[in-house]
Homo-oligomer: A and B are copies of this chain.
Amino acid sequence: MDLPATIAGRTAIVAGNGLLPVAVAESLRKQGGNPLIVAIKGEAEPELYKGEHAEISIVELGGLVKILKAEGISNVVLAGGIRHRPEFGAALRPGNGNLVALYRFMRAFRLGDDGLLRAVIATIESYGFRVLGAHEIVPDILAPAPGTITRKGADKESIADMRAARKAAIMIGSLDIGQAAIAVGRRVVALEGVEGTDAMLQRVAELRLAKRINRKGGVLVKCAKPQQEVRADLPAIGVSTVENAVKAGLKGIAVEAGRTLILGYEETVTAANKAGLFIETFEQEAP
């Protein structure tokens, strides 16, 4: 794949946890690019420290801008999650940043993920950098057009579970709480909060063991928030999602087409096929 003409100049990957930053870095390197990794301390995968990299703490927005300027960066990709949420009051270090921007950043943090990400993007852009979504660099990680991407598809019961879980996932997304829900027997049994999707799946596995959920089957639904900033924090699934869905006794996973990332597409579909799980993608929510 050629580097799209629109992504000219050097790109920095601000790397949170998970495999998305790794995939973005690999993709840029394959395209002949020389990305700078800006690893978020305590979050980024160790292998990202192997290439050219800098490290920042989540509270050092000023430090980030300084690094981007020094390295002659044109584009910035924010990729991966933040597992350890900062207590700004205690740990804020202004670094060399613009204090007004930092103040806005701090205020935005109180608005939750979504407000925070929008403010971070706006702040980075205010310094003249271009902020790209990970899917603009690795377009084939986006969940494809509505349909079944595994050998098995959803049965009638699962379609009903999908509907129930999707309704709940959109609702909690609209409040910027989470992006995922699980329904079993048409009943929503778990909603994603700060714990994340894998922990929620483990909870459902435990609830089954404790016979608190006795109906069989069930579906995990992940979808973007209605107000989603698509350049950051798109919901994602991968091999670990499939493995945990199997442990939770689910029949399948359904994700929003075009606004969900499938990390390690081939491996994920292979793992699902091996386990007899379905993965469906459904139409995007009208904005």
Q: Which residues of B lie under 8 Å from residue A199 when comparing CB positions?
A: 203
Closest B residue, CB atoms, query A113: B187
Known A-B contacts A110-B185, A185-B110, A186-B110; the reply to A191 vs B172 at CB < 8 A is: yes
A247 at the interface (CB under 8 A from B): no
User: CB of A50 within 8 A of chain B?
Assistant: no
Contact of A215 with B by CB under 8 A: yes
Chain A residues numbered 198-230 whose CB sits less than 8 Å from any CB in chain B: 199, 203, 207, 211-216
A87 touches B177 (CB 8 A): no
Contacting residues, chain B, for A215 (C-beta < 8 A): 85, 87
Contact yes or no, A195 B191, CB < 8 A: no
Which B residues lie within 8 Å of A214 (CB)?
84-87
Residues of A74-103 whose CB lies within 8 A of B? 83-87
Taking a contact as CB atoms under 8 Å apart, the answer to whether A188 and B195 are in contact is no
**A84-B214, A168-B175, A175-B168 given; A195·B187 CB < 8 A:** no
Q: How often does this chain occur in the complex, in copies?
A: 2
Asked if A72 is an interface residue, CB under 8 A from chain B, the answer is no
A5 at the interface (CB under 8 A from B): no
What are the residues of chain B within 8 A of A187 when measuring CB–CB?
A: 110, 112, 176-177
A167 within 8 A of B: yes
Contact of A212 with B194 in the complex, beta carbons under 8 Å: yes
B168-A212 in contact (CB<8A): no
Residues of B within 8 A of A133 (CB): none
A193 part of interface (Cβ distance < 8 Å): yes
Contact with B along A21-46 (1 / 0, CB 8 A): 00000000000000000000000000
Ranked 9 nearest A-B pairs via Cβ: A191-B191, A190-B193, A87-B214, A189-B194, A177-B188, A112-B187, A84-B211, A189-B193, A85-B214
The interface of chain A, by Cβ under 8 A from chain B, is: 83-87, 110-112, 167-168, 171-172, 175-178, 182, 185-195, 199, 203, 207, 211-216
Beyond A85-B213, A112-B187, list 19 extra A-B contacts (CB 8 Å).
A84-B214, A85-B214, A87-B214, A87-B215, A87-B216, A110-B187, A168-B177, A171-B171, A171-B175, A175-B188, A177-B187, A177-B191, A189-B193, A190-B194, A190-B195, A191-B192, A191-B193, A194-B207, A199-B203
